[in-house]
Amino acid sequence: MILYPSIEPSVSEKEYRSEDAINYSTVKKALHEYPTTAHYYAYELDPDKPAKKEKKDDSLIKGNATHVLIAQKDKFDTLYVQAPVSDKRTKPYLHTIKENPLKIVLTPKEWDDVHQMAASVLSHPASSILLSEGQAEVPMFWVDPISGERCKALIDWLRPDHHLVDFKTTFDASLRYGGFDSIVRFKLKYSWQLAHYTNGYKEITGHEPTWTFIAVENAYPFLTHAISYSANKIEEFKKEWRIALNKYIFAKKNNWPGYSPYIEEVS
List the domain boundaries for the chain.
19-45+109-116+124-253
Q: List CB contacts of 229: < 8 A, sequence separation 6 or more.
A: 184, 194, 211, 237
Per-residue pLDDT in tens (0 to 9) along the chain, 267 residues? 899 999 999 999 999 999 999 999 999 999 999 999 999 999 999 999 998 767 778 889 999 999 999 999 999 999 999 999 999 999 999 999 999 999 999 999 999 999 999 999 999 999 999 999 999 999 999 999 999 999 999 999 999 999 999 999 999 999 999 999 999 999 999 999 999 999 999 999 999 999 999 999 999 999 999 999 999 999 999 999 999 999 999 999 999 999 999 999 999
Cα(189)–Cα(187) distance, rounded to whole angstroms? Answer: 6
DSSP calls for 88-142: TTSHHHHHHHHH-TTSEEE-HHHHHHHHHHHHHHHHSHHHHHHTTS-EEEEEEEE
Give the type of residue at 150. Answer: R
Closest CA to 85 of 113, 109, 117: 109
Cα(75)–Cα(45) distance, rounded to whole angstroms? Answer: 31
pLDDT (tens digit, 9 = 90+) per residue, 110-146? 999 999 999 999 999 999 999 999 999 999 999 999 9
Q: What length does the chain have?
A: 267
Residues 66, 114: contact at Cβ < 8 Å?
yes
State in words which class domain 19-45+109-116+124-253 has: alpha beta
